[in-house]
Structure formats: C-alpha cells, structure tokens
Amino acid sequence: MESNTFLRFLFIFLTGALLILFTWTHLPYAPPPPTSATDCATNSPWCTSKNRLQSKQPSTNNILKKPPATTGIRHESKLPGHPLDPLTIKEFNKVRTAIASHPLFKSSPYSLHSVVLDEPEKSLVLQWKKGDPMLPRKAEVVARVNGVSYVLTVDIETGEVKLEETKPASGYPTMTVEDMTSATLAPLANPYFNRTIIQRGVDLKDLACLPIAPGWYGADEENRRVIKVQCYSMKGTVNFYMRPIEGLTVLIDIDTKEVIEISDQGRNIPIPKAANTDYRYSTIDANQRLKFINPISIEQPKGPSFKVEDDHLVRWANWEFHLKPDARAGVIISQARVQDPDSGEMRNVMYKGFSSELFVPYMDPSDAWYFKTYMDAGEYGFGLQAMPLVPLNDCPRNAYYMDGVFAAADGTPYVRSNMVCVFESYAGDIAWRHAESPITGMEIREVRPKVTLVVRMAASVANYDYIVDWEFQTDGLIRIKVGLSGILMVKGTQYVNMNQVSNQEDLYGTLLSENVIGVIHDHYVTFYLDMDIDGSNNSFVNVNIKKKVTSPGQSPRTSILTATKKVAKTEKDAQIQLKLYNPSEFHVINPSKKTRVGNPVGYKLVSGGTAASLLDHNDPPQKRGAFTNNQIWVTPYNRSEQWAGGLFVYQSHGEDTLAVWSERDRPIENKDIVVWYTLGFHHIPCQEDYPIMPTVSSSFDLKPVNFFQSNPILRVPPNVVNDLPVCKPSPAAST
C-alpha cells in the first residue's frame, strides 16, 4: 500500500516537474526578446499575452495562407520625428542602460512595469513645428525594487535618472507579462494542487491556467502583491474557456511565487464537455460551413487617400492627427486638427484622446467569482494585450499597419507587429442628400457618399476581445466605437437543462449549454478627451432641453421644447448622469472665438452606450471603479491625471481616481479642460454568445456645433460612373 502511494506521488511529482521544465523553456525567461516585427509575428512568448500553461497550438488563422505582412519598418534604426512619437528601440536601450547603472538598481533585483515617453509640456508641443529642433526626449519608468514601487524619469540624451516623488496611498503598478506567466506556473509546485487536478480527471499536460487580478477587499490583503489563478481543461478543444475546473482558486504571492491559499469547493461540479466548442473554421465540417455572401472588398483604383508621414502623422481629407500605440491605453490620438473649408486653416479640435480605463465587474457573489472585477488597462495593460491584426478580416485591403514597441520587465524592447491599422471605410452610408419632390417642378437629387477614416486596435484580454475604433468623418465628426467579441468567462454547473433550476436568479447568469453558465457582467470603457477647440481655454456647457407649457391663448399648441444653456463653473457642475426624460446636449466651446453670426465655436458630445453602474457605491469594486458613477466628468487639465482608476490600479483602494480628483471642485470655466466619457454595456449572456460571441458595439460622437460657418462638406463632389471600375458579376450572381 505504502509502495503504491509512493509510486503515485513520484508519478505526480515527475509529471509536474516535466511540465514545469517544458513550459519554462517556452516562457520569456530563457530566450532573448525579439527586436523585429518578424519575431513578434511568429511564436515568441514576448509577444503573446495568452499567459496560460499549455503546449503550442496550431495557428487559428486558417483563412490566411501565409503570416500577416509586417509594416516593413526597420525599428532598430528608427528615429523620432515628432515630440509625441513613442520611444524607439534605440531609446529603450538607452533607458535600459541608464537604469542598470543607477545605484537603486545595481545591487537588487528589479522589474520595469512601464517604460513610456515622458511627454513634453503641452505648451511646448503646441509651439513645435516640423523642422524645429526635437524637444528633449525623456522616458517615464515605473519600477519595482525590493517590493517598493518607484516612478522615475530618464533623460535619454544624458542618461540622467531622476526619482520622482510618489507616495500612493495604495495599489501596485500594471503587471508585467513575466508576472502573469510566472503566476500560472506557481501552483504546479504545490502537491495538493496537482493532486486535486488529477483527481478531477484532468491530465496536467491538458491544463490551462489564467492569472486573475484579485481586486481589493480589506486589510487581509495588505502589504503583499497577490494574484488568483484558476484553471481549465483544454483536452479536445482550443476553447478551454468553456471547460472550467469550477471552484478551484489558488492565491499566489506574485513576488515570491508562494502558494498562499487554495480554495477547492467545486469537486462535485463536472467539467463541461469539449464538443461543439471549437470555433476555428478549419475544424468545421465542410458540409456545415455557411457561405451566405460572396467575398466583398472596397476597391480603390487610385489607392488610399490618406498618408502616414514619419510613421505617426496621419493626413486624410481635411484631417490630420498624431497616432501612436501605447502599452496601457492601446492607442493614443493627439493633436487632432480639421481644415476650415473657407480659410484653409487647420483648426485644433482635440489635443489628446485615449481609452483611460476599462472596468469589468462580474455579478456572482460566490467564493470563486466575487473578486472578478477587472481593470483591464491599469492591471493588465490594454495595449500589451493587443494582438496582431489579421489583414482582410480585421482590416480591409489598402489598410496601413502600425507596430507597437514596448519594454519587457528587464527593459529589453520588443515589437508587437500589426498592432494598429488605419483604413478608409465606405459602407454605403450617405454624407448628405436632398431630392426635390416632383410637385416643385425641379428635378434635383443631390447625394454625397460618406467615406470615413478608421483607426483600429483589437485587444485580447484573455477571453474577451475589444475592438476600439476612432473614426474620422469629413464633416468634422469623430466617432469613438467599442466592439465586444471573443469568448465569455463561464462558470461550471451541475445543471444541464433549465427544468432542473428552481430559482433562475441563483444562476447569476444564463445556462448556455450543458454544465455551462454565462455569468452576468458589465463593461465600462472610460475615455480621456483633452479637448482644445480652437485653443486650450474652453468651457463646458449643459444645454438642457425642457418642456415649456404655452400661455393661455398664446398658441394652438399647449407645449413646446426649449433649450437652456448653463456654463459649468466648477467640476461638480459637470458631473453628469444621463437621464432619458431630462435630456441635455453637452457642448465644449471656446468662449473667445465666435462664428460670423456670434455663436461660440464648439463641439458637442453625443452620448451612446449609456449603461450605468447599479452597484452600491460602498461596494469595494465600485469604490475602485468610482469613475463610472457618472457618465461625464470634466476636470481642469493636469498632466498627472490621465488614468481614471489612478496611476497604480492593481489592488488599489480607490483613493486616487477620477471621482476623487473631481471632488476638489476646481474651476473649469474658460480653462484648459479634459472631458471624460464612459461607454457602458450590461451583458446578460445568451446562447448566441456560445461558444464565441458575435461582436456587440456601441459608440459616442464628438460633433461640431457652430464650429464651421456652414456645412463643411458642401463642396465635396459626388461619385460618377467613370470614377469607379466596372466589375462584371459572376454567372452565379446574375441568375
């Protein structure tokens, strides 16, 4: 008996050791990081955010016959051409050298959690013109040394390292990829964990584990950086998310890799079957493949109309703006300007815009779920999770692709290829039109097609895929759209049919398939919008729309609508919760610039995706995500206030958020102001979301309001037949 026990333990130990050895050789500790787009387009672990324990899987890109083409940029020799250009590989290497030689880092192990451009002062950037000497280049570095977080600036030219004064009340920096990958390995060193995995019928080689940020729930979680790990079986499918090992949660100390606690409460819950969970086209039987439509593409005989100069300056139609990938925000749009059709002047609209934070709370209070309240930008790095875009599917023909260059935990630069794409879009929409009725005797039919320019990034934050579009229109409108796709985070259950469920609310979600529950959750994406309408000094105006009852005898009408304008004096005046039956328009105006007839020039925020948080404001996740308590906030410009959840979000308590800053109630009238808008989604999963979700999208607009003297695209020509090639339909299409 003792011999059998010993042999069984030896087998488990050796299996775990072999798995650790195998996985270790596939993680970014042994090989050097890539320095070219080609490396990241292949299989380097430095370029993947899928931090899970598993063997290499075949590529899921079965539509393409060859790997996506890279941008072709030689990043090793690239130099900055604009003060806001991201750090280059040469600059990353200089920063790495400077850090390594600094006394703080010489004798202690350290990790770099963020290495980004320390942007020059806004006033200096606004004055800079192409051909001027480049403004001094500095890097902002967030590092951890001996368990202490530091913020430093590095002068790239001189190598001088300056330690900034930062005393955050709580929280840790964004996790590194190394943090996440090592956390998923740690449970395998624990015999109890290995034993319970095998007892559940899962082979260790089929194990897939995810690192889950724990949020913050009290003093017991103080003074150590922790993470929770949950695992899945990937036997029989690449869609391991649909095969959770329910109720098994491992608490890990990220710094020491120590297993602190194992919660094992789901032994009676079966692991869902793998059947019908694989979503890859190559695995679908040829007789079951759907062929609804023929291939479609926008043809551009003269090529695209946009240009990307110096790798980051985009010019298209009447727009120009600076574009760069960012490890935390994903993409950043800067210095967006639109041309005035009358004067030809390029006029300022927005100095800087980006997705500041994503808050995703799940609505299951059980032990294995209550803590799933993600901050995807501040905890994981929204840009770090961006995957290479797939040509012809993520982005159409004639798209321009832009790579991201980031730093690993030791400061070594690597390239995330095809991270962003830029393309022109035409979906048959109309820019403007008018046709006269025959009763007027005039045969007038004037129509203009709407062609737009789209900047796109897609981040795969573990199971979920977020598609973020910045769309520019020739009439001056900017549309910011977020699409949700990917795979649900699901819960294992004993139920196989709803007739077994006595109280549906106890599911905390929807039964999607046998033994699979899709848990109810929310998505909030908060955007930072530094508006500069014809200059930096702007005001926020609430244009309230109200019913007015007419006076007796005044009119056959008994009620009309009126619009009352109120300029927000301080931050609290601009804390807006949207109300359907108390509507408003929200204008950002330049009070010192007027149109020909005397209206202040401006832009208005047209709301969309208006789901609001219903959580108790004292609930720990909502304290941290208090920036979602309102849909709109306005703050005075402060370069230290860019991240809605605070600089250090991981395990933060919520003392350094947009909601806290705004309580200062600072003056905002005729000031350099920042508008914050939150797109919200309530998601009650349904069977159509299984095994992979069709994309659900919502958007909001920044629209000119009295910015131009009249319709800015009145003079745009219509399309004529000779402008476009004639495509002959196939015989099948003509029958």
Distances, alpha carbon 3 to alpha carbons 9, 17, 160, 390, 432, in Å: 10, 21, 63, 55, 83
Distance CA 355, CA 406 (A): 18
364 is catalytic: no
Catalytic residue among 118, 376, 522, 656: 376
Q: Write the burial class of residue 287 (CB in 10 Å: 0-12 exposed, 13-18 middle, 19+ buried).
A: exposed
Distance CA 627, CA 645 (A): 7
**Joined tokens for residue 465:** 């895929």
Mention every residue, 6+ apart, whose C-beta is less than 8 A from residue 605: 529, 586, 587, 588, 632, 675, 677, 700, 701, 702
Give the H/E segment covering residue 660.
helix 658-662
Distance CA 453, CA 298 (A): 13
**Joined tokens for residue 583:** 């509507």
207-232 CB burial, b ≥16 within 10 A, e <16: bbbbbbbbbbeeeeeeeebbbbbbbb
Locate all alpha helices (DSSP H) within 25-135, ordered by sequence: 37-41, 89-100, 103-106, 122-127
Contact in structure between 509 and 517 (CB atoms under 8 Å): yes
Nearest 10 degrees: Cα torsion 123, 124, 128, 132? 160
- Give the three-class secondary structure for 622: helix
376 is catalytic: yes
Locate all alpha helices (DSSP H) within 436-580, ordered by sequence: none
Catalytic residue among 232, 241, 414, 464: 464
Contact in structure between 374 and 75 (CB atoms under 8 Å): no
Question: What are the two backbone dihedrals, phi and then psi, of residue 385, each rounded to the nearest 5 degrees?
Answer: -90, 0
Question: What are the two backbone dihedrals, phi and then psi, of residue 557, each rounded to the nearest 5 degrees?
Answer: -75, 145
43-77 CB burial, b ≥16 within 10 A, e <16: ebbbbbbebbbbeeeeeebeeeeeebebbebebee
Positive or negative: CA dihedral 673, 87, 425, 609: negative
- Give the three-class secondary structure for 482: strand
Residues found in the chain: 735
Distance CA 505, CA 496 (A): 16
CA atoms within a 13 Å half-sphere pointing along the CA-CB vector of 111: 17
Mention every residue, 6+ apart, whose C-beta is less than 8 A from residue 491: 244, 246, 364, 368, 369, 508, 509, 516, 517, 518, 519
DSSP 175: P
Q: What is the CA radius of gyration of the chain?
A: 27
Helices 177-185 and 2-24, axial angle in degrees (round to 10): 160
* Residues with active-site annotation: 376, 464
